[in-house]
Structure 1
Amino acid sequence: MREEDCIDLLRMAGCSAGVIAHCRAVRDLALTYASDPLIDRGLVEVGALLHDIGRGVTHDIRHAEVGGEICRSFGLDEAVIAIVERHIGAGLTADECSLLSLLPRDCMPRTAEEKIVAHADNLVKGTRVITLDERLLHAIALPRRQRRRIYRLGLEVELFR
């Protein structure tokens, strides 16, 4: 899928110019981690561009779940849908989803592509790339377990760079 196709989908889903700019910034950063030949660069690019498609409907925690539903309605590949649904922080367990009034399903990033997009999203605030330390400062209100998960994901994905 071409970038223009992804941008068209974001617009059809109601995403603002700011959300689209953020998605492009996440894509640009994510691709810096996708140089290993075992990583599907095309999947990373499409997943990063569409990761916040649910923000056309809501800007709360439900945007990942809503984004997955939007992607399904567009007939997108399950690998892209998984990136969209699993990009929050460093993922959410089924129990955490349930506590947040989301569908009680495992939303932990599993594949390298899912992890790369989640990490890149963690490091892009608006369109500005921040450090992992800055991200952790922004996440200070999160439970320690989730902050630790963000840190570990960062350490793991930074090995790809």
Structure 2
Amino acid sequence: MYEDILREEGCDPGVIAHCRAVADRAQEYAVSPSVDRDLLRTGAFLHDIGRSETHSLRHAEVGADSARSLGYAEGVVRIIQRHIGAGLTSEECALLGLLPRDGMPQRIEERIVAHADNLVKGTRRITLEERMDRSTDLGRKARVRAFRLALDLEPLLHIRK
């Protein structure tokens, strides 16, 4: 179903495969009863829908607009809008030439998708250390934010279901 939506929106097979891998990875963190698993799955699968138009950082805002126009709930739109790294402040967005919106993941589903996306390169799972090594172009604050997000969420993998 989600793959069909991504395909219809114009995403290439590599983006679709990546979205599937991120959705699978995100589900591993959905151990708490407070996690809306349907919202998480939808948001994770559609997080890169904006890559149908651009592969720049702008893909998050493009994707959020696409999801909104397709009638998805604001929870899904926020996941898409806030999945870049471990989030971007409105000031960081403005400095990067994006709309100055709050792109910081707040709800647990938003945080899980951002983290899962950080741990998938293409379709390959990577470690947090690999992500940090690949993120040298990010500023120190963004790297620290991604590391803190990981520290917050990694313990979820060790909770028995």
Fold-level similarity (TM above 0.5): yes
Structure 2 match to 1:44: 40
Q: Is residue 31 from structure 1 mapped to residue 32 from structure 2 by the alignment?
A: no
- What's 1:160 paired with? 156
After superposing on structure 2, the runs of 4+ consecutive aligned residues of structure 1 that deviate more than 6 Å are: none
Q: Distance in 1 between matches of 2:94 and 2:152?
A: 27
Tell whether 2:86 aligns with 1:90: yes
What is the CA–CA distance in structure 1 between the aligned matches of 2:123 and 2:9, rounded to whole Å? 20
Q: Is structure 2 residue 107 aligned with structure 1 residue 111?
A: yes
RMSD, matched Cα = 0.6
Identity across the alignment (%): 58
Pairs within 5 Å for 1:1-161? 4=1, 6-161=2-157
| Deviation sequence 1:47-96 (CA, Å, 0-9, x none) | 10000000000001000000001001101000000000000000000000
Post-superposition shift, 1:141? Answer: 1.4
Amino acid at match of 1:46: T
Write the letter of the residue equivalent to 2:55: H
Instruction: Name the CA distance, whole Å, in 1 between partners of 2:55 and 2:97.
Output: 15
CA displacement 1:96-146 (0-9 Å, x = unmatched) = 000111111110000000000000000000000000010000001111010
Following the alignment from structure 1 to structure 2, what is the Cα–Cα distance between the partners of residues 42 and 35?
A: 13
Deviation at 1:159, TM superposition (A): 2.0
**Partner Cα separation in structure 2 for residue 150 and residue 98 of structure 1:** 20
Runs of 5+ unmatched residues, structure 2: none
Query: How many Å separate the matches in 1 of 2:85 and 2:78?
Result: 14
**By how many angstroms is 1:38 displaced?**
1.1
SS at match of 1:34: coil
Q: In structure 2, what residue type is equivalent to 1:24?
A: R
Q: TM-score, normalised by structure 1?
A: 0.96
SS at match of 1:140: coil
> Match of 1:7, as an amino acid?
E
TM-score, normalised with respect to structure 2: 0.96
Secondary structure of 2:21 counterpart: helix
